[in-house]
């Protein structure tokens, strides 16, 4: 598969100024050259652009193009890459794509260009994942995080952790296999434990910051809940700055989930306006209410809306009970009307969605709730990828098992098993899963001649 020359349309399908058909592989230059009327691509220098035309099998002109050539290994995949810049349009790009396949290229699988860059050692696994994160970024801060991953910051972070761990493992290994050497530091459980605890402290700090990173990258699942007609849809519209949800005085107007996204100081709120929760015999409304209850379980933030113009009801009390263990803000809406709600609530705010009063205060409260400290994207490294966070958590648990083994007075070679497991788990983050690499790195720490 890696020997194949692959081709794909790299730009989004649709009408536009240009489209790019991209090829990678040993035969990519000759495949394009076969249909190109212009300079001989076999003889052009790397990182140059050539003007000409693409002709079909019958020498009929398909399009006027600019062709970029990137010769191995100075390319994204480290293979020969050719990019055909043609006029934007579904038909033209597809016509050129089909022609390249007739000439011998194979249609690329999703992500295969980036996969080849990883497999050829051009980028590590964290950088490969960061490519997609750059594409999917929804805010300045999430883009900054993604670019840091692309620059290899996560790789460096993990490599430093592995290096610290490897120093401990190497000393254990020498101590077990070569106890006759006087210059080898004799390790005891009392010496090992502080080193492992330092690593645990370091990873704990990374995971604490990871909470911020995940919020910046993925946003916050936010459900707006409450009884019918308390103003949930009006609040959604006010936050979105558009009339996305239908607002009427008729109870049960919102019968299905209405969603939208907003950017609050760099944080994305993934908003869900739910159906008003009440007892209902209407089949359609009941389905919406069931979806609303399901949204409560999935939500990371609850915006619980109460009506300032009405006293607390049994339904309100039930919803308060249902959400008491969730992170929530009590929104007392319709503050412009007569105050009939006498209860006071922790973490509450009064607004008027109709008159757009208090909306900015609500946004600031949400931001402070999730980002209580100052985010320093310049000096700090924030892990935001869910897979990386999971692997770091597994690493942390492996190190804790090592400490438990020490506390149980287990021999150091038993502790080493947990440390090697932690080292391999960290390797899975960057795509280094070979136990051979552990041996290579471990013995590289030894003195020459040993």
Per-residue pLDDT of 387-402, as tens digits, reads 999 999 999 999 999 9
| Position 171 pLDDT exceeds 80 | no
- Which CATH number covers residue 433? 1.20.120.430
- Which CATH number covers residue 56? 3.30.1360.120
11 located within any domain: yes
Compute how many other C-beta atoms are within 10 angstroms of the C-beta atom of residue 195: 16
Token pair recorded at residue 317: 């009390």
Of the three residues 370, 396, 425, the one that is the final residue of a domain is 370
Task: Say yes or no: 253 and 356 in one domain.
Answer: yes
> Which is more confident, 413 or 174?
413
141 located within any domain: no
Give residue 204's pLDDT: 95
Spatial contact of 85 and 20, defined as CB atoms under 8 Å apart: yes
88 located within any domain: yes
User: How large is the C-alpha radius of gyration of the chain?
Assistant: 30
Give residue 248's pLDDT: 40
Task: Say yes or no: 80 and 194 in one domain.
Answer: no
What is the overall mean pLDDT for the chain?
83
Task: Say yes or no: 230 and 336 in one domain.
Answer: yes
Pairwise CA distance, residues 301 & 43, whole Å? 60
Pairwise CA distance, residues 339 & 352, whole Å? 12
Give residue 330's pLDDT: 92
430: nearest Cα among 196, 202, 129 = 129
Give residue 368's pLDDT: 83
Pairwise CA distance, residues 134 & 57, whole Å? 38
| Position 19 pLDDT exceeds 90 | yes
| Position 448 pLDDT exceeds 80 | no
135 located within any domain: no
Token pair recorded at residue 202: 């370091």
127 located within any domain: no
Q: Assign 178 a pLDDT band (cuts: 50, 70, 90).
A: low
Least confident of 96-100, 352-356, 392-396: 352-356
Please state whether the predicted TM-score (pTM) of the whole model is above 0.75: no
Give residue 51's pLDDT: 97
| Position 241 pLDDT exceeds 80 | no
Task: Say yes or no: 327 and 342 in one domain.
Answer: yes
Task: Say yes or no: 113 and 184 in one domain.
Answer: no
Bridge partners of 86, per DSSP, are: 19
173 located within any domain: yes
> Which is more confident, 193 or 258?
193
Euclidean distance between the first and final Cα of the chain, in Å?
41
Sheet holding 258-264, edge to edge: 258-264, 267-273, 220-225, 301-307, 328-333, 348-350
130 located within any domain: no
Task: Say yes or no: 179 and 77 in one domain.
Answer: no
On the CB side of 155, CA atoms within 13 Å amount to 19
Pairwise CA distance, residues 324 & 15, whole Å? 50
Q: Assign 253 a pLDDT band (cuts: 50, 70, 90).
A: very low
- Which CATH number covers residue 316? 3.40.50.300
Task: Say yes or no: 69 and 92 in one domain.
Answer: yes
Least confident of 71-75, 78-82, 122-126, 410-414: 410-414
Give residue 400's pLDDT: 96
Bridge partners of 354, per DSSP, are: none
> Which is more confident, 343 or 36?
36
Give residue 397's pLDDT: 97
Spatial contact of 118 and 64, defined as CB atoms under 8 Å apart: no
Q: Assign 441 a pLDDT band (cuts: 50, 70, 90).
A: low
User: Which residue stretches of 7-120 are H helix?
Assistant: 28-33, 90-102, 112-119
Pairwise CA distance, residues 404 & 391, whole Å? 20
Contacts 24+ apart (CB under 8 A), 341-347: 341/306, 341/307, 341/308, 341/309, 341/310, 341/311, 341/312, 342/311, 343/312
Pairwise CA distance, residues 75 & 120, whole Å? 11
Question: Cα dihedral sign for 237, 238, 240, 242?
Answer: positive
Could you give the 3-state DSSP secondary structure of residue 366? Answer: helix
Q: How many domains does the chain have?
A: 3
Task: Say yes or no: 337 and 394 in one domain.
Answer: no
Least confident of 33-42, 327-336, 385-394, 440-449: 440-449
Task: Say yes or no: 180 and 311 in one domain.
Answer: no
Task: Say yes or no: 244 and 361 in one domain.
Answer: yes
Give residue 224's pLDDT: 86
Say if residue 73 is preceded by a cis peptide, omega within 30 of 0.
Answer: yes
Task: Say yes or no: 361 and 429 in one domain.
Answer: no
Task: Say yes or no: 365 and 224 in one domain.
Answer: yes
State which residues form the domain around 324: 219-370
Give residue 274's pLDDT: 66
16 located within any domain: yes
Give residue 180's pLDDT: 53
Chain mean position to CA 275 = 30
At which residue do the structure tokens 């309100």 appear? 316
Least confident of 117-126, 154-163, 186-195, 297-306: 186-195
436 CB burial (10 A radius; 0-12, 13-18, 19+): exposed
Cα dihedral: 367, 204, 425, 408 (round 10): -150
């Amino acid at each position: 598969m890696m020997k194949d020359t692959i081709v794909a349309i790299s730009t989004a399908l649709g009408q536009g100024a240009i489209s790019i058909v991209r090829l990678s592989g040993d035969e990519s230059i000759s495949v394009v050259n076969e249909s190109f009327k212009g300079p001989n691509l076999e003889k052009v220098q790397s990182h140059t652009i050539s003007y000409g035309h693409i002709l079909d099998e019958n020498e009929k002109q398909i399009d006027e193009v600019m062709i970029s050539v990137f010769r191995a290994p100075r390319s994204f995949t480290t293979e020969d890459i050719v990019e055909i810049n043609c006029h934007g349009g579904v038909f033209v790009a597809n016509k050129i794509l089909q022609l390249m396949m007739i000439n011998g290229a194979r249609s690329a699988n999703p992500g295969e260009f980036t996969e080849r860059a990883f497999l050829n050692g051009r980028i590590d696994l964290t950088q490969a994942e960061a490519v997609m994160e750059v594409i999917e970024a929804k805010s300045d801060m999430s883009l900054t995080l993604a670019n840091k991953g692309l620059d290899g910051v996560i790789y460096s972070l993990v490599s430093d952790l592995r290096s610290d761990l490897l120093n401990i493992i190497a000393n254990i290994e020498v101590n077990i296999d070569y106890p006759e050497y006087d210059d080898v530091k004799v390790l005891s459980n009392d010496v090992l434990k502080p080193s492992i605890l330092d690593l645990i402290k370091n990873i704990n700090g990374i995971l604490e910051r990871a909470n911020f990173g995940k919020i910046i990258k993925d946003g916050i699942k936010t459900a707006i809940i409450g009884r019918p007609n308390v103003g949930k849809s009006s609040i959604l519209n006010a936050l979105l700055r558009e009339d996305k949800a239908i607002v009427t005085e008729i109870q049960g107007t919102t019968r299905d989930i209405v969603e939208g996204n907003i950017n609050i100081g760099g944080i994305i709120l993934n908003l869900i306006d739910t159906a008003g929760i009440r007892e209902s015999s209407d089949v359609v409304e009941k389905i919406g209410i069931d979806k609303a209850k399901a949204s409560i379980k999935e939500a990371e933030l609850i915006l619980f809306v109460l009506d300032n113009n009405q006293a607390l009801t049994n339904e309100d009390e039930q919803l308060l009970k249902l959400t008491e263990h969730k992170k929530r803000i009590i929104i007392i809406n319709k503050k412009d009307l007569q105050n009939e709600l006498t209860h006071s609530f922790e973490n509450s705010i009064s607004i008027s969605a109709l008159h757009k009063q208090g909306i900015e205060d609500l946004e600031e409260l949400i931001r402070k709730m999730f980002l209580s400290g100052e985010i320093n994207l310049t000096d700090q490294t924030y892990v935001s990828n869910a897979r990386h966070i999971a692997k770091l958590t597994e690493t942390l648990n492996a190190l804790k098992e090592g400490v438990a083994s020490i506390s149980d007075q287990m021999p150091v070679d038993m502790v080493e098993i947990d440390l090697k497991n932690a080292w391999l788990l960290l390797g899975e983050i960057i795509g280094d899963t070979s136990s051979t690499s552990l041996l290579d790195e471990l013995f590289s720490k030894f003195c020459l001649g040993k």
